[in-house]
Amino acid sequence: MGSTADSGTYFRKGFGLKADVEGELSADYSGQIVDFLRANDYTLVESGTTIRLAREFGFCYGVERAVEYAYQTRRKFPGRPLYLVGEIIHNPHVNDRLREMGVTILEGGDAGFDFSGLGPTDVVILPAFGVTIDDFAALRELGCVLVDTTCGSVLNVWKRVEVYARDGFTALIHGKHYHEETRATASQVRKHANGHYLVVRNMEEAQVVCGFVEGRLSRQALLDRFSPHAVSPDFDPDMHLKRIGVANQTTMLASESLAIAAEVGDVMERVRGREARERDFRSFDTICSATQERQDAVRELLAEPLDAMVVIGGFNSSNTISLTALCAERVTTYHVESPEGIDPIAGTIHHRPAGVEHREATSADWLPRGEIRIGITAGASTPNSKIGEAVQRIFETRAGK
């Protein structure tokens, strides 16, 4: 994928319309309550309730850039059909706002995206997660105008994975095999004929790989665990786990990514010796800086006495899920997709429990009585406006007690 405009049909650097869309972006996503918190040591106290906001939260640079480019694209092509390959980021408010602006969000699945009917008159936005090399090639073949908002941190991981494939290393990717970013990253190995990948969700799955390397697990048992969705086509553990390069989805829990890399490297050294580790194992920390900063800020906040944490972000947002997992290790934590999940009248909160995917819960009387301290953070795809609304609803809930 290129990095500059290409004959007027591929754009990655926007259209020079930043000033034209700044007012609209501010109206849609900024928040006065967040501004107040920032100006007051990230603290707001009222009627016995203290809100403490993590010092790094919400929109990161990559998300801001992607959303801004989408707004610029609508302004640049006011009369053209405008499409988006999946969600631009994992935030329902942002994606709904784009639909209101006339952007058609294409739905994908295991079979991929259906681009039939698209052609040179159509403008297609590529999301912050990026797209697979097959999807990119298909859109180029159709002659669509492409606006590429892929995050720079994601592109860095792609480069690393491609180098692994070029040098004969299988990419062991810490991520979710079904996530748009990981699917796009894994596809990069196919730029080389002998490129292969294996995706592990967590340390438990990494230990399965280690078990095979140590000879404790059979070839078939490993394939039964990961094939077909989490491994490259024609993946052969006997051949393709001799040389391993570790990478990760940029929004995973950084400490777990580092631990997985260390474990795999240690196992290879125990089984094959230090020289083999130096020759046949590579690892680079590809967690993006914004993800790391938000996780570090949460750890700092959790060092304080808190009665609960509220984490705001899409239920399908990987970086938000990672923040929730961190918080839940120390304090009662509620992951809400939007402020509307907090119902001041009913006194309930609709949330996704930490460590549980695809299940939601509604909890009553979730705020303790008496003087309380509530921590707040938000995933990298959550606008400040939604953070402020959540804070307001917490105070309204307390007022109703």
Q: What is the pLDDT of residues 320-366, one digit of tens each?
A: 999 999 999 999 999 999 999 999 999 999 999 998 878 999 999 99
Which are the catalytic amino acids?
A: 181
400 pLDDT higher than 90: no
Residue 88: its pLDDT value, please? 96
Residue 178: which of 201, 155, 197, 158 has the closest Cα?
201
Looking at the DSSP assignment, which residues form a beta bridge with residue 264?
none
In the chain, which residues fall in CATH 3.40.50.11270?
A: 62-149
Q: Average pLDDT, stretch 352-381?
A: 94
> Using CA atoms, how far apart are residues 126 and 103, in angstroms rounded to an integer?
12
Fold of the 62-149 domain = Rossmann fold (3.40.50)
Residue 318: its pLDDT value, please? 93
Q: What percent of the chain has pLDDT over 90?
A: 92
Confirm if 188 and 133 have CB atoms less than 8 A apart: yes
What SS3 state is found at 343? strand
Helix, strand, coil percentages (3-state) for the chain, rounded to 5, are 45, 20, 40
What does the pLDDT look like over 255-306, one tens digit per residue? 999 999 999 999 999 999 999 999 999 998 888 889 999 999 999 999 999 9
Residue 4: its pLDDT value, please? 44
Residue 401: its pLDDT value, please? 61
Token pair in block for residue 9: 């049909």
Average pLDDT, the chain: 95
Q: What is the DSSP string of 57-96?
A: -S--HHHHHHHHHHHHHHHH-TTS-EEEES-SSS-HHHHH
Residue 79: its pLDDT value, please? 87
Residue 3: its pLDDT value, please? 42
What does the pLDDT look like over 307-324, one tens digit per residue? 999 999 999 999 999 999
In the chain, which residues fall in CATH 3.40.1010.20?
A: 29-59+290-399, 153-287
Q: Does domain 153-287 fall into CATH 3.40.1010.20? A: yes
- Cβ-based burial of 317 (10 A; exposed 0-12, middle 13-18, buried ≥19): buried
10 pLDDT higher than 60: yes
Residue 357: its pLDDT value, please? 78
Q: Average pLDDT, stretch 147-152?
A: 97
Q: Does domain 29-59+290-399 fall into CATH 3.40.1010.20? A: yes
What does the pLDDT look like over 170-188, one tens digit per residue? 999 999 999 999 999 999 9
Q: Using N-to-C axis directions, what is the helix angle for 254-272 and 289-302, rounded to 10°?
A: 110
What does the pLDDT look like over 96-111, one tens digit per residue? 999 999 999 998 877 7
> Using CA atoms, how far apart are residues 186 and 85, in angstroms rounded to an integer?
17
What does the pLDDT look like over 35-68, one tens digit per residue? 999 999 999 999 899 999 999 999 999 999 999 9
CA distances from 147 to 1, 229, 259 (A): 11, 28, 36
| H or E segment and range at residue 209 | helix 203-213
- Angle subtended at Cα 33 by Cα 28 and Cα 39, rounded to the nearest 5 degrees: 120
Residue 90: which of 266, 272, 320, 265 has the closest Cα?
320
Residue 108: its pLDDT value, please? 83
> Using CA atoms, how far apart are residues 204 and 129, in angstroms rounded to an integer?
25
Residue 199: which of 220, 221, 178, 219 has the closest Cα?
178
> Using CA atoms, how far apart are residues 390 and 311, in angstroms rounded to an integer?
10
